[in-house]
Amino acid sequence: MGVFDLHVPEDWHRVFREISDPPGVVLLLGAPDTGKSTMANFMVYKSIEEGVRTAYIDGDLGQSIIGPPTTLGMTCPLEPPADMRGLKWDHLYFIGATSPAGHSLATAVGVKRLVERAKEEGAEMVVVDTTGLVAGAMGFELKFYKIELLNPQHIIAIQRTEEVEHILKGCRRRKGMKIHRLSPSQEVHSRSQEVRWAYRKRKFQDYFQRCARRAISLDAVEFINPELPLLTKEGIDERLKGRLLGLNDEEYFAIGLGIWDGFDGNSNKIYILTPLDNLGGIRYLHLGYLSLKVPL
Ligand SMILES: Nc1ncnc2c1ncn2[C@@H]1O[C@H](COP(=O)(O)OP(=O)(O)OP(=O)(O)O)[C@@H](O)[C@H]1O
Ligand SMILES: [Mg+2]
């Protein structure tokens, strides 16, 4: 659904005026299915329409809008985007999992890297969209420390009742940080777990649809394994078949993704399935936590 088809409550216009004066980092916070991404799209659209250079950061690893699942994405559109789904990314940060659970540090760091990059590239407004993981201790850790790290000028909190107040409590009296509380639009509808799985599967299929088997020499890249740093080469082939890989450049941003498809100890080459034609810029193969069955 594009911005032209949305139900736009009067509140949204008010909040847009407030976050634009002056523009800065804006973080969206809310439980699942409260309309965070839709509102983010609206804010990005309006901001670019008003001539403000604006970046959108997709902090959702599972229901990704920018880039494939398991990555965080950043885009800085030149034209107001009626629908951000499917927009090409400017930068990706690979996490390797479809949920931030157990990966909250990596997720917070990745979002921070993308926000910094957006600012370096001239973005005046940076809209940071987040997952609906806000409940309990895990939600607190993930969101509160993300706020600590990013120090946003604005937090837009969309709540049915008080789902994110335990996080906001630690931000209420901050200097230079404004909280904007909103209720979800009455047009918001929830997506079932099945719909979410199907969406994720389609995103992977779209990404890998034109992939080829390519060799990459371990003499030319570093293999980063966050689980087993001292992994022996014996049996590596079978154990890692199907595992997702972040194909990272010299700045540790992901150029793309690959799927582990074999290892040849004699030539010291890893075989990967990837849609990338040019592997020249890859400096690191970062092992993900997820395995994919091919064909997808
Ligand atoms: N203002 C609105 N007008 C019409 N439809 C809306 C509006 N806000 C949200 N929706 C619809 O409700 C659904 C959920 O919205 P959205 O994806 O923005 O929620 P979210 O909080 O980002 O969810 P998640 O927690 O999964 O990230 C979407 O299908 C969206 O099109
Ligand atoms: Mg969302």
Rounded Cα distance, 132 and 98, in Å: 13
Q: Which atom of ligand 1 is nearest to the CA of 38?
A: 18
For ligand 1, which residues put their CB under 6 angstroms from it?
A: 1, 6-7, 30, 32-38, 60, 63, 132, 185, 187-189
Ligand 2 centroid to 115 CA: how many Å? 18
Name the closest-CA residue to atom 1, ligand 1.
Answer: 7
- All domains of the chain, ordered by start, with CATH? 3-193 (3.40.50.300), 210-287 (2.40.30.330)
For position 295, what pLDDT does the model report? 77
Ligand 1 centre to CA of 185 (Å) is 9
> pLDDT (tens digit, 9 = 90+) per residue, 73-103?
999 999 999 999 979 999 999 999 999 999 9
Q: Per-residue pLDDT averaged across 1-6, rounded?
A: 82
Answer whether 0.75 is exceeded by the pTM: yes
What is the band of 170 on the pLDDT scale with cuts at 50, 70, 90? very high
Using pLDDT thresholds of 50, 70 and 90, give the confidence band for residue 168.
Answer: very high
- Per-residue pLDDT, 5: 84
pLDDT at 233: 65
Closest atom, ligand 1, to C-alpha of 158: 21
Model confidence at 219, pLDDT cuts 50, 70, 90, reads: very high
Nearest atom of ligand 1 to the alpha carbon of 40: 18
Closest ligand to the CA of 65: 2
At residue 243, the pLDDT reads 95
Of 22-26, 84-88, 133-137, 243-247, the range with the lowest mean pLDDT is 84-88
Strand order in the sheet with 25-30: 91-94, 71-75, 54-58, 125-129, 25-30, 154-158, 178-182
Confidence grade of residue 229 (pLDDT, cut at 50, 70, 90): low
pLDDT digits (tens, 9 = 90+) for 29-60: 999 999 999 999 999 999 999 999 999 999 99
The ligand 1 atom nearest the CA atom of 188: 12
- 9 — pLDDT class (breaks 50, 70, 90): confident
At 238, is the pLDDT very low, low, confident or very high (cuts 50, 70, 90)? confident
Give 2's pLDDT tier (boundaries 50, 70, 90). Answer: confident
Q: Binning pLDDT at 50, 70 and 90, where does residue 283 land?
A: very high
CA-proximal residue: ligand 1, atom 27 (nearest) = 131
* Residue 213 burial (C-beta neighbours within 10 Å; 0-12, 13-18, 19+): exposed
Q: Does 230 have pLDDT greater than 60? A: no
pLDDT in tens, 262-271: 999 899 999 9
User: Ligand 1: which of 37, 185, 191 to mutate, most ligand atoms within 8 Å of CB?
Assistant: 37
Q: Which long-range contacts (CB under 8 A, 24 or more apart) does 91-94 make?
A: 91/117, 91/253, 92/67, 92/253, 92/254, 92/255, 92/256, 93/252, 93/253, 93/254, 94/70, 94/246, 94/248, 94/254, 94/257, 94/286, 94/288
Section 154-177 average pLDDT: 96
> Ligand 1 centre from 207 Cα, in Å?
23
**Residue 3: what pLDDT?**
84
Distance 85 CA to ligand 1 centre (A): 12
Measured CA to CA, the distance from residue 242 to residue 271 in angstroms comes to 11
Which pLDDT score is estimated for 86?
Answer: 78
| Nearest CA residue ID for atom 6, ligand 1 | 188
123, pLDDT greater than 90 = yes
